[in-house]
Amino acid sequence: MNSHDDLIRDLARSTDATPGKLTELRARLAAAAERDGILDIAYRVVDSPVGALLVAATELGLVRVAYASENHDAVLQHLAERISPRILAGPARLDPVARELDEYFDGRRQSFDVPLDWRLSAGFRSTVLHHLPEIGYGHTASYAAVARLAGNPKAFRAVGSACATNPLPVIVPCHRVVRADGGLGGYLGGVEAKRTLLTLEAAA
């Protein structure tokens, strides 16, 4: 063996910290960044009956909820480009929404009251999304009915695209929008997830 390479390897090993140390330092960094006001986006991943949900919040509020099928890495990259790359996994800011989601999936919560940052939706789509919480827990509404709620009865296709691009699914209940003929319609988290949410709400 080459003793030079051995020495370098020993050097790397002797200066290597334990994995626990890095975890501790990363948590400390997230706390310090929050304290200094430079943590533009904090995120964590919450387990749920509809799979792993990424939840991300700015200092204003919850800005993104994403299903695993949307690819969490791609979603974070998109947030870096759209809002800011100063993004860290930082559980503290997401504690309230994680707790509310747990309660919701346990059937103990019917609406969410965490602050929301709506900046990822705009125009008529945003108007549509703002009206969705008016469809109560356990109820559904047709795309046409939501178009009327949003003040443009002819715009039921736009309602469909607003739901398909909802940056805050589950929290902003686009899963309660279904087809007039009783069919489930599409869902950005997959039809199975939509069925799971509606079944959960119907049972509670």
Partner 1 sequence: MSVKQPFERVVADHGRTVLRVCRAVLGPVDADDAWSETFLSAMKAYPDLPADANVEAWLVTIAHRKAVDVTRARGRQAIPTDDLPPIPASAETEHDDDLADALAHLPHKQKQAVAYHYLAGLPYNQVAAILGGSADAARRAAADGIAALRRTYPGAATRKGKTR
Stretch that binds partner 1, among 15-23, 61-69, 111-119, 164-172 (CB under 8 A): 15-23
Pick the binder of partner 1 from 61, 70, 80, 114 (CB under 8 A). 80
Stretch that binds partner 1, among 46-54, 86-94, 108-116, 128-136 (CB under 8 A): 86-94
CB atoms within 10 A of CB 27: 15
Residues in contact with partner 1, total (CB under 8 A)?
38
Could you tell me if 153 and 147 are in contact, meaning their C-beta atoms sit under 8 angstroms apart? Answer: yes
Q: What is the largest CA-CA distance in the chain?
A: 78
Could you tell me if 106 and 203 are in contact, meaning their C-beta atoms sit under 8 angstroms apart? Answer: no
Q: Per rule CB under 8 A, is residue 2 in the interface with partner 1?
A: no
Stretch that binds partner 1, among 17-25, 100-108, 122-130, 146-154 (CB under 8 A): 17-25
Residues that are catalytic: 174
CA distance 93 to 112: 16
Q: Per rule CB under 8 A, is residue 26 in the interface with partner 1?
A: yes
Min separation Cβ 52 and partner 1, Å: 16
Q: Per rule CB under 8 A, is residue 33 in the interface with partner 1?
A: yes
Pick the binder of partner 1 from 46, 79, 108, 168 (CB under 8 A). 79
Q: Which amino acid is at 117?
A: D
Distances (CA, A) of 89 to 65, 74, 83, 92, 96: 14, 15, 16, 9, 15
Pick the binder of partner 1 from 50, 57, 76, 193 (CB under 8 A). 76
CA distance 64 to 168: 5
Q: Per rule CB under 8 A, is residue 92 in the interface with partner 1?
A: no
CA distance 33 to 29: 6
Pick the binder of partner 1 from 46, 62, 88, 193 (CB under 8 A). 88
Up-side HSE of residue 20: CA atoms within 13 Å toward CB?
Answer: 0
**What are phi and psi for residue 130, nearest 5 degrees?**
-65, -25
Stretch that binds partner 1, among 2-10, 108-116, 126-134, 170-178 (CB under 8 A): 2-10
* Residues at the interface with partner 1 (CB under 8 A): 1, 3-4, 6-8, 10-18, 21-22, 25-26, 28-29, 32-33, 36, 38, 41, 43, 76-77, 79-81, 84-89
